[in-house]
Structure 1
Amino acid sequence: MKVKFAILGCGHIGKKHAELVAQHPDAELVAMIDPAYEQLEILGSNVNHFQSLDDFFKQKIEVDVINICTPNGLHAEQAIQCLNQGHHVVIEKPIALKIDDANAILAAADRNRKHVFPVVQNRYSSTVKWLKELVENSSLGTIYMLQLNCFWNRDEHYYHKGSWHGTLALDGGPLYTQFSHFIDVLNWIFGPMTNINSKFYNFNHQNNTEFEDSGLITFEINGAAGTISYSTSVFQSNFESSITVVAENGTVKIGGQYMNSLEYCQIGGVDRPILEESAIGNDYGTYKGSAFNHQQVINNVVDVLNDLEKPYVSLGGGIQVVESISQIYKHRNVEKIILEKEKHLV
């Protein structure tokens, strides 16, 4: 059957969702919902436009799935509304900014017997899938150390006046908006973090964000020691997102801007694989987002609802990301430390 989709939130990523749904042979885009719908390009004559969820629900249009592509702080409330109206939902990352809200989505999904598909498309990258298989096969032996680096650029064009970006209520910070994808990869492959300690800095976003732009985190995962270093203060353009694994039987690094390339591989008894590099990041003009594997997300949703396969990403995975980031913030430094050049920890 053709799966009918509505897109809630028609900014950069919402338009991407709409394009991919419209292109899918077994999907149909029936509605787009956004307060600024009059400025949107119409994708086909059969696409209805609404200014709000309430307006959309009143029309009782037949739809199977609602893709939530709105600001982060709205995701949980809107997901629960859609589930209570009897629709499956696709939720862009993060599914929520608070763990209680994430669990409330789970309760609504269970109550209404509907699917929730978190969008964590980096799991589809060939490099990430290969690393997961490597760990599951115990090819690396005991893992000693993990290093996650996320170094991107977000400047005044991104955090412009009047934007939801930069606010605690709707954005939440770089761990939620930029780097939750890579927290998910860490969780998915290695497990949840424990014994977390974190420090946050704000180097050059004091005038346009309500949160840190950089952080240093230490943790443990199943006996391995780990670090996360992240920043949105990188000059001019995104630099890298990478995971380095130091283990008993070898050392591996997947990197590039979006963990899309195998940068180092030295493993006893295992040949270096030839992996197809994932698609480049979503290009939004003044900045680039995460790796563009969204077509595979839409494919999975369509196939699940046609009983052809199981969900590739569980709602539990989306909840675990929110839990991990919540724990990082919970175990942040509480003392205000002044750096050499009067730059302050957040």
Structure 2
Amino acid sequence: MIKFAVIGSGHIGKRHAEMISRNPEAELTAMCDKRSKEECENNFDVPFYSTAEEMLANTPDTDVVCICTPNGLHAEHAIKSLDSGKHVVVEKPMGLTKKECEEVMFKALNRSKQVFCVMQNRYSPPSVWLKEVMDTQVLGEIYMVQTNCYWNRDDRYYKKNHWKGTMDLDGGTLFTQFSHFLDLMYWLFGDVENIKGVFKDYKHENNTAFEDSGFLSFDFLNGGIGSFNFSTAINDKNFESSMTIIGEKGTIKVGGQYMNEVEYCEIDGYEMPELKEANPANDYGFYKGSAANHIHVIENVVDTLSGRTNITTNALEGLKVVDIIERMYAAAERPVKVAEKVLN
């Protein structure tokens, strides 16, 4: 039995706790949050602590700690958990800087512990299929890849006196909303260089400290050119997350709101297999997130620590996504507000 504790009891922390509770080889031992259990609407029947330090000190038998806190605290909480002798599951992003991620990796190596990065879109059937297509090179040489992510995030999401929208704890739309899709791009096509971009803020002047839209172009180190276009200024609800791949032997487009549908596939001499239906998006009421695949994340942790498989998204991959985002943000001036949103 693999014993888990969870730092953070918001939407994602409670989702981790639920997936742990559903796994027959996992046990939830504790949770913590700076808010009270009642404020968090937490109904899990396990000890609940007010700080990570208190929880770690009182749960010596815990094997794994899930880090489900604001982005800017991920690296800090991962290092504290590793220092206490636990493996860690880190929600995206692994950190807000490459340096933070390197510190997490160093601590994990120093303590001989594993770091599992949460990039659950890798488990969606279209993503699994795309990975097979790329690995078997049925498209031949890759010419162009265009990724579009157009979502809604408005005042219902960016609440007053909340960490979302702040520079130090959120970090920006590429970190919070779209790192899953940048991870898929990196997983499928590898690293990028020669990044050029433009960032704009159209609808979030009063509720975030940064951009809501951007165009980015780059070269893949493995060959081909790419673009990543994004916005959270879409009215009312998410519009699409899509990837179009143009190769020597054919063209593919995976679309839908969450890259959950294969919209086009034409490849010389290739018959596309029938794919399983994708899981729905994480539903938070007035807004939706990426695919609800956290059950597979917890399964992978249990299976890896039981010696049955390998980590789906390891620490180096988590670091590389952060590194790419840092370089993308450095490629053009960001519309960071002088009067940055702050927490009271």
Structure-1 separation of matches of 2:168 and 2:86: 26
Read off the aligned partner of 2:105 and give its amino acid letter: L
Aligned to 2:283: 283
Deviation at 1:125, TM superposition (A): 1.0
Q: Distance in 1 between matches of 2:306 and 2:223?
A: 41
1:135 aligned to 2:134? yes
Q: Please name the residue that 1:6 is paired with.
A: 5
SS for the counterpart of 2:37 is helix
**How far does residue 84 in structure 1 lie from its aligned partner after superposition?**
0.6
Which is further off, 324-333 or 172-181? 324-333
- 8 Å CA contact 1:131–1:189 kept in 2: the answer is yes
Residue 42 (structure 1) shift? 5.0
Q: TM-score normalised to the size of structure 2?
A: 0.94
Q: Distance in 1 between matches of 2:335 and 2:60?
A: 53
User: Contact 2:7 / 2:68 at 8 angstroms: preserved in 1?
Assistant: yes
Indicate if the aligned counterparts of 1:262 and 1:275 stay in contact, CA closer than 8 A: no
Deviations 1:42-77 (A, max 9, x none): 5454x1100001211332442000000000000001
Unmatched runs of 5 consecutive residues or more in structure 2: 337-344
User: Which secondary structure state, in structure 2, belongs to the residue aligned with residue 4 of structure 1?
Assistant: strand
CA distance in 2, matches of 1:334, 1:82: 33
Change (3 A) 1:42 1:148: closer
CA contact (8 A) 1:22 1:43 kept: no
* 3-state SS of 1:245 partner: strand
The answer as to 2:244 corresponding to 1:244 is yes
Q: CA deviation at 1:141?
A: 0.9
Q: Distance in 2 between matches of 1:186 and 1:310?
A: 21
Equivalent residue letter for 2:91: E
AA of the residue aligned to 1:232: T
Q: 1:60 to 1:14 in 2, by over 3 A?
A: closer
Name 1:339's counterpart in structure 2.
Answer: none
Q: Does residue 296 of structure 1 match 2:296?
A: yes
- Secondary structure of residue in 1 paired with 2:199: strand
- Match of 1:238, SS state, is coil
CA distance in 2, matches of 1:38, 1:257: 33
Corresponding residue for residue 190 of structure 1: 189
**Counterpart check, 1:150 vs 2:158:** no
The TM-score, its normalising length taken from structure 1, stands at 0.94
Contact 1:197/1:333 (<8 A) preserved: no
Verify the 8 A CA contact 2:20 2:298 in the aligned structure 1: yes
- Give the 3-state SS of the residue equivalent to 1:320 in structure 2: helix
RMSD: 1.4
Aligned equivalent of 2:117:
118
Tell me if 1:84 matches 2:105.
Answer: no
Amino-acid identity (%): 47
State the alpha-carbon separation in 2 of the partners of residues 99 and 298 from structure 1. 25
How far apart are the structure 1 equivalents of 2:58 and 2:136?
Answer: 51
Report the counterpart of residue 171 of structure 2 in structure 1. Answer: 172
CA distance in 1, matches of 2:147, 2:286: 25
Q: Which runs of 5+ in 1 are unaligned?
A: 337-346
Q: Determine the structure 2 residue equivalent to 1:229.
A: 229
Amino acid at match of 1:231: S
Count residues in correspondence: 334
